[in-house]
Structure 1
Amino acid sequence: MTSSDELHKRRVAAVARGVGSTISSYIAEAGGGTLTDLEGREWIDFASGIAVTNVGNAAPRVVAAVREQVEKFTHTCFMVAPYESYVSVCEQLIELTPGSFEKRAALFNSGAEAVENAVKIARHATGRQAVVVFDHAYHGRTNLTMALTAKNMPYKHRFGPFAPEVYRAPMSYPLRDGGLDGAEAARRAIDVIEKQVGAGNVAAVLIEPIQGEGGFVVPAPGFLPAIAAWTAEAGAVFIADEIQTGFCRTGQWFASSHEGLEPDLITTAKGMGGGLPIAGVVGRAELMDAVHVGGLGGTYGGNPVACAAALAAIETMRELDLAASARHIESILKPALADISDPGIAEVRGRGAMLAIELVKPGTDEPDPVRTAAVSKACHEAGLLTLTCGTYGNVLRFLPPLVISDEDLDRGVAILRAAFR
């Protein structure tokens, strides 16, 4: 059998250096809350492929649905010869997303592609161009989504010029806002938008209900509703980027529901497909239908195999009530994280199975990315797969599969405690 060392030598000779990996081991199989590498070593999975395998890796329903679809046909292109599963996935998105209004949906391949298309829809429907995003935001790696993303390294560095008519407003970041509540933080952001952009020029306001790569930042209560209300008054489109937060990850089907939001458009991907690449935009029918025929689509968007996987993943989420599972994970993991006694921990935050620890230099609010990386590396050496994030690189984030066992959660926490020590 090929070893990780042998495979790494092949990788160096074949794979572009710009594609990085968190760990040096190569995975042979995975399931539930664990991964197994080529050497047979087990890893407890607190990453879920960056919030993708919400239903677990190689989930039985997903495997069976993919196998059945592959034997029928693998591709026709929905824009050429349509098929039922694409329609079924759109129906599920319409049913599951918040909003009592009439909706439509369209399918794509990745989160970045979904965001690009949501912006296209908003611009087409409003006849405006400006798009407002927020500090610490992450929306993807394509040219437009790099412009929308806040962090330079590694996402934007030397990749410009970027798409124009993108404007950035201050985010609600309770740990670093000097005590601003949600309403005050919203007024600060709105003041920037009105002065620097002008309400009449805004096509869309795009925001993650809980920021992902930016540090799992949970805005103060009231911030999101105030921004949504201003967007409606301005005649602009409120877009919720639920690519990382969607599909039960935060304890609700979609994180927008925590504050009763009904976004005009929602972008989805990651946990939607059970590990296969699929994404969507869903929202108000009058916005989605404003685009001319042929204006939306793509060769692989809503591929039949990916649609089969998505339908099976959604069925699994319903059957196992994985939103409740996420809340259960929070009830175990969040107190355990808060119980870690370390002077560098500034905050434990998040919702459901989307939790994080922000690290600073003790006695200050100065971010400590060096120690954050060291703790994560120590976790990896002990068999716990963790990820870091944050504008300052000082946040440990935890995204276990929603089917992880309590035993694996406890084992992971034990490794994390030892890593801090």
Structure 2
Amino acid sequence: MTETLLAAEAATLPQTRHLATAVPGPRSTELHAERTAQVTNGFGITLPVFVTRAEGGIIEDVDGNRLIDFASGIAVTSLGASNKLVAERVAAQLAAFTHTCFMVTEYESFTKVCAWLNRNTPGDFEKRTGLFSTGAEAVENAIKIARAATGRPNVLVFDEAYHGRSLLTMAMTAKVNPYKLNFGPLPTEIIRAASANPLRPAEGLAAGAEAALESVEATILEHGAGTFAAMVIEPIQGEGGFIVPAAGFIPGLRKLADKYGILLVIDEIQAGMGRTGTLFASEHEGVAGDLILTAKALANGVPLSAVTGRAEVMNAPHAGGLGGTYAGNPLACEAALAVFEQFEDGKLLENARRIEAVAREILEPLLTSTNVVAEIRGRGAMLAIELADAATLEPRADLAKEISSACHAAGVLTLTCGTHGNVVRLLPPLVIGEELLRDGLTVLAGAIADAAN
């Protein structure tokens, strides 16, 4: 692999899987019991282990187990959970000041982050950026900006979309359980259209982009094209199952947006910041959004999000209409500047592409050697395995759960997702070493083979 990727293997925390106890171990079990007594049950948990250290592609827990990290905090710690340059810049800022609120007194790092995003996001036009704290905040502010710019109320979203957990972004998210269940009533100006899932086209539609785009246009016209401020799309649908849309779908949405004067908002919150082997996943589609949303890996674990877009659109809200107490906090801005610096030589993007090549080498034989792997899909270090009966495509959420549980017991942290809960997703740090990557993928492939049998 590349020099950057191999650097993780020289980390101070050994970059090897190691099981000192069962997973979870006795100390984690004690701490989880205390968590249950103190923390609301509304927070779920994938793997109840308590972490003491994390570096490169390894998470070490309180029992001394070293787990291979195929989650990256749900695509957040893409440069490792204790990135040295991020830590140094944040520590220096912490020593200077932690917060002033950018709307009260200013600091240069906020402007520098905005300038980098203006230069590097897709689109050959003048841009402006606003910084916020969370992905859901970025989505909500994009809708505010789009409504201010167009004077229109409605927002078009898509099947299998995920955009957040706030009241508006819950309405924009497709999956009911656990995201919307019991939390209504929700905002009503949200209209849902068909997506272009190659494996599972919308009911009544042929596979491919053409039929999906015809359906989307019909939905726009049904509700009145002049009522839509924005259409919001993930270039790879994350929580929906890491769905790469049928070729031509997102370029087709760009044409529809232009045709009807609707702003195209591209939600890169999970897929962006190098995860797919390009800085932004929409680069694979050759499309620039009028607005583009970033968060998660933007500051490698320090809360930061952004809305970047056409200057005239971004400047539409009145002064004071955007902001937030913690928006663009200086610690987060310094973390983001450290992330940007590490993308300069192109090695991290090369790493993401190499991760995909190794993963496909190990996992794709399962397409023919088992009868439960319906599809292996994704781009770069954003990959997924969909589990379903080969003959009927009946989703097998039970197998996804069984496979993840087996991986966890063996010391490999995996996540599940998908509308039907039948997808195992892989989000390793872009700095993971090849030997460690292969070890984790071998464990995963073995768990899938065992479940199939």
TM-score category, normalised to shorter length = over 0.9
Equivalent residue for 1:181?
Answer: 208
Question: Per-residue displacement from partner, 1:109-160 (whole Å, max 9, x unpaired)?
Answer: 0000000000000001000000000000000000000000000000000001
Equivalent residue for 2:110?
Answer: 86
Residue identity in the other structure for 1:184: A
Preserved contact between residue 296 and residue 304 of structure 2 (Cα < 8 Å): yes
Equivalent residue for 1:117?
Answer: 141
Equivalent residue for 1:19?
Answer: 43
Work out the CA distance in 1 between the residues paired with 2:67 and 2:344. Answer: 27
Residue identity in the other structure for 2:208: D
Question: Per-residue displacement from partner, 1:299-357 (whole Å, max 9, x unpaired)?
Answer: 00000001011110111122463111111111111232212232100001000100001
Work out the CA distance in 1 between the residues paired with 2:397 and 2:403. Answer: 10
* TM-score, normalisation: structure 2: 0.91
Preserved contact between residue 240 and residue 267 of structure 1 (Cα < 8 Å): yes
Work out the CA distance in 1 between the residues paired with 2:289 and 2:360. Answer: 28
Report the CA distance between 1:363 and its aligned residue: 2.0
Equivalent residue for 1:357?
Answer: 385
Write the mapping of 1:158-237 to structure 2, written as runs, cut at 5 A: 158-177=182-201, 180-195=207-222, 197-237=223-263
Deviates more, 1:346-355 or 1:179-188: 179-188
Moved over 3 A (4+): none
1:368 aligned onto 2:392: no
* Structure 2 residue corresponding to 1:390, chosen from 414, 418, 426: 418
1:41 aligned onto 2:61: no
Question: Per-residue displacement from partner, 1:242-270 (whole Å, max 9, x unpaired)?
Answer: 00011000111001111110100001000
Equivalent residue for 1:126?
Answer: 150
Q: Secondary structure at the match of 2:292?
A: strand
Work out the CA distance in 2 between the residues paired with 1:413 and 1:322. Answer: 20
Work out the CA distance in 1 between the residues paired with 2:211 and 2:268. Answer: 24
Report the CA distance between 1:179 and its aligned residue: 5.1
Work out the CA distance in 1 between the residues paired with 2:375 and 2:221. Answer: 32
Preserved contact between residue 417 and residue 425 of structure 2 (Cα < 8 Å): yes
Question: Per-residue displacement from partner, 1:247-296 (whole Å, max 9, x unpaired)?
Answer: 00011100111111010000100010111100000000000001100000
Equivalent residue for 1:95?
Answer: 119
Aligned length: 420
Report the CA distance between 1:181 and its aligned residue: 2.1
Report the CA distance between 1:20 and its aligned residue: 1.1
Work out the CA distance in 2 between the residues paired with 1:105 and 1:220. Answer: 30
Preserved contact between residue 190 and residue 227 of structure 1 (Cα < 8 Å): no
Preserved contact between residue 334 and residue 355 of structure 1 (Cα < 8 Å): no
Residue identity in the other structure for 1:334: R
Preserved contact between residue 141 and residue 155 of structure 1 (Cα < 8 Å): yes
Question: Per-residue displacement from partner, 1:218-261 (whole Å, max 9, x unpaired)?
Answer: 10110000111111111111000000011000111001111110
Q: Any unmatched runs of 5+ in structure 1?
A: none
Work out the CA distance in 2 between the residues paired with 1:91 and 1:337. Answer: 40
Residue identity in the other structure for 2:110: Y
Residue identity in the other structure for 2:373: I
Equivalent residue for 2:362?
Answer: 336
Equivalent residue for 2:306?
Answer: 280
Preserved contact between residue 373 and residue 385 of structure 2 (Cα < 8 Å): yes
Identity of aligned residues (%): 52
Equivalent residue for 2:168?
Answer: 144
Preserved contact between residue 362 and residue 445 of structure 2 (Cα < 8 Å): no
Preserved contact between residue 172 and residue 223 of structure 1 (Cα < 8 Å): yes
Residue identity in the other structure for 2:207: L
Report the CA distance between 1:9 and its aligned residue: 2.0
Aligned-residue Cα RMSD (Å) equals 1.3
* TM-score, normalisation: structure 1: 0.98
Residue identity in the other structure for 1:233: K
Report the CA distance between 1:53 and its aligned residue: 0.8
Equivalent residue for 2:279?
Answer: 253
